[in-house]
Structures are given as C-alpha cells and as structure tokens.
C-alpha cells in the first residue's frame, strides 16, 4: 500500500473518538530450543510401559537399526520398527498404555456383543 494511503488512514483513525486501545502484542514462547529439548527428554523418561520408559525403547530401536545396517539382517529392522512404534505410542498416548487391561476388557465386551 502506498505511503499516501497509509497516512490518510492514520489521519482518519486519529480523528475518530471511539476507537478501542491498541491490542497488546503477545510474546511467543520465551523458552529456548534447549529448554524445550530438555523438557521433551524428561517427559519421555517419565512415560513408561511397566518399568521401561519411552526413551529407553527409542534407544533400543536406534541400536537395532544400527545392528541392521551393520549386519544386514532384516529381523533387526523389523524389531527396530516395532520398538519405534511402541515408543511413539507410549510418548503420544501414555494413559492408554498404562492400563491395557481396561482396553482389553472393552475389546472382549465388544466381541461378546457380536455373538
């Protein structure tokens, strides 16, 4: 927009008596990238399946992928993908994995309703 129009709009707005106050500018997240990574690390350490945390499962999948690239045994890649999936599900849905018996009972109830 040309400066001439901006100046005219500003003059019109200055002459208006019932304008609301200027909105406050909200600062974005003040956390640094390092703080966010530290929070993610501790969050992954706290979300567990039994006694194994999501972070430990993630490290296990990295080790299995390294074994796959070193030995070219496909079983390591398949198990590594499985571990990666379990780690992801633990990090995203920790409440559903903390009480698997409850969800298993729901599945059994659904199957019983079918018959």
Give residue 44's pLDDT. 78
Neighbours of 80 (CB within 10 A): 19
Distance (Å, whole) CA 26 – CA 46: 31
Give residue 101's pLDDT. 58
Domain boundaries, the chain: 47-108
Distance (Å, whole) CA 111 – CA 65: 37
86-99: pLDDT as tens digits: 888 877 765 544 55
Cβ neighbors of 48 (< 8 A, separation 6 or more) are 54, 90, 94, 98
- Reported pTM: 0.51
Say if residue 108's pLDDT is above 80.
no
Give residue 74's pLDDT. 93
Distance (Å, whole) CA 105 – CA 110: 9
């Amino acid at each position: 927009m040309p400066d001439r129009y901006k100046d005219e709009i500003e003059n019109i707005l200055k002459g208006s008596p019932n304008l609301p106050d200027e909105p406050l500018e909200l600062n974005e997240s003040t956390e640094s990238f390092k703080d966010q990574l530290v929070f993610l690390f501790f969050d992954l350490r706290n979300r567990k399946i039994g006694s194994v945390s999501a972070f430990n499962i993630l490290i296990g999948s990295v080790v299995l992928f390294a074994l796959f690239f070193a030995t070219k045994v496909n079983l390591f890649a398949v198990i590594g993908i499985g571990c990666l999936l379990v780690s992801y599900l633990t990090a995203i849905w920790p409440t559903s994995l903390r009480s698997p018996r409850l969800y298993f009972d729901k599945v059994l109830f659904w199957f019983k309703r079918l018959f």
